[in-house]
Amino acid sequence: MKFFSMFTGIGGFEYGVRKTKGDRWKCIGYSEIDKFAVQVFNRHFPGIKNYGDATKIDPMGIPDFDLLCGGFPCQAFSVAGRRMGFEDTRGTLFFEVARIVKVKRPRYVFLENVKGLLNHDNGRTMLTILATLDELGYDVEWEVLNSRYFGVPQNRERVFIIGHLRGTSGQKIFPIGTGGGETSGMEREDIAYCIDANYYKGNTNVDKCQRTVVTAAITTENAHMFGKNVTRKQVTDIENLTGNVRRLTPVECERLQAFPDNWTSIGVDDNGDEVKMSDTQRYKMLGNSVTTNVIEEIVKRIKDD
């Protein structure tokens, strides 16, 4: 199986594939414009061509492939659902996916997005995406999956979309449900809030957001809060008790996304030299990535032939 990756980031889809399929699946190219993410990707997946800006890709310049995957950014669909179909996606990054699929016609399309996609523009955005894929010749299925049910203590809900090229054989992927079952031994308050690209901004200075923080010093008074999800008021309460509250480390965030430790610590530039990543960049990249255990579980259900 050959696949092409779009909006690739640090290689969450690719790592999930590697864990499941090993060398049986081959990434023939990817598309990513963030230079730090590219450097991390190149460290772990050397020798794969980056086609760069998705809006500038010539589909005819890409080798044939069997599957297109990607977590496309959900830009505003200004006319989504008004006319329906392929034309309604122009001006959005989903259009770049559709544009390449229209030419290359891979057997599978495998997409990921935030759960909010389902009610964006009163559901018309999702309806447009489904109608577009249908118009391009794909039978579509989708499901919302939460990372907390796939071996990591993170409450991360994402919608996953699978398109099957009409006329080709292929078993149904969804529903998967809770996968391997709820994270063993964890209470609800032990499950981390969703790690996002803004997590690096800190604990108490992020308005209208909840953050998972850890008390760096454990006392009798605050032991019940250690490693818990807390609100802004609770952060203040802990600070009053200990004066020492910290956010999750980049390595802890890597574990919440089911990457190996230090996956994002070092990148490789165009000259082949190693580049150390700042914590700020690591938080951003991990917040924008996918939980690789979920990718692994989905990919297990896609036939190799």
- Whether residues 156 and 23 fall in one domain: yes
Q: Which residues pair with 192 in a beta bridge?
A: 154
Q: What is the CA radius of gyration of the chain?
A: 20
What whole-number distance in Å separates Cα of residue 206 and Cα of residue 229?
14
As a whole number of angstroms, the distance between CA 55 and CA 93 comes to 8
Residues 68 and 162 grouped into a single domain: yes
Q: Which of 27, 69, 74, 253 is catalytic?
A: 74
One domain, residues 119 and 212? no
Q: What is the CATH number of the domain that holds 57?
A: 3.40.50.150
Give the count of domains, the chain. Answer: 2
What is the spatial order of strands in the sheet that 229-230 belongs to?
229-230, 211-215, 245-247
Is residue 31 classed as helix, strand or coil in its secondary structure?
strand
Question: Do 147 and 64 share a domain, yes or no?
Answer: yes
Q: Do 24 and 159 share a structural domain?
A: yes
Whether residue 93 is found in the same domain as residue 206: no
Is 261 part of any domain?
Answer: yes
pLDDT for position 231: 52
For residue 56, is it within any domain? yes
Q: Is 253 a catalytic residue?
A: no
**Shared domain check, 203 and 165:** no
What is the predicted pLDDT for the residue at 74? 65
d(CA 82, CA 95): 16
Q: Give residue 119's pLDDT.
A: 85
Locus of tokens 């008021």? 233
In a domain, 133, yes or no: yes
In this structure, the answer to whether residues 172 and 193 fall within a common structural domain is no
Confirm whether 22 is domain-assigned.
yes
Provide CB contacts within 8 A for 271, sequence distance 6+: none
H helix intervals, the chain: 12-21, 35-44, 93-104, 124-135, 232-242, 250-256, 279-287, 292-299
Q: What is the DSSP string of 58-70?
A: -GGGSPP-SEEEE
Q: Quote the domain boundaries for residue 169.
A: 2-182+290-299
In a domain, 21, yes or no: yes
* Same domain, residue pair 104 and 167: yes
Co-location of 37 and 152 in the same domain: yes
129 Cβ neighbours under 8 A, 6+ residues apart: 89, 94, 117, 161
Residues 119 and 79 in one domain: yes
Distance CA 252, CA 247 (A): 10
Question: Looking up tokens 């290359």, which residue turns up?
Answer: 104
pLDDT of 241 reads 53
- pTM, rounded to two decimals: 0.86
pLDDT score of 277 = 98
Do 256 and 156 have their domain in common?
A: no
* pLDDT score at 270: 92
Residue whose pair of structure tokens reads 């991360």 in the numeric block:
156
Q: Is 2 helix (H, G, I), strand (E, B) or coil?
A: strand
Residue 305, in any domain of the structure: no
CA nearest 66: which of 10, 110, 11, 22?
Answer: 110
pLDDT of residue 180: 47
Query: Is 304 among the domain residues?
Result: no
What would the two tokens of residue 260 be? 């190996």
Residue 220 in domain: yes
- pLDDT (0 to 100) of residue 29: 98
Q: Which residues of the chain have pLDDT under 70?
A: 74-91, 178-190, 202-211, 213-245, 305
Query: What is the distance between the alpha carbons of residues 48 and 54, in angstroms, rounded to a whole number?
Result: 16
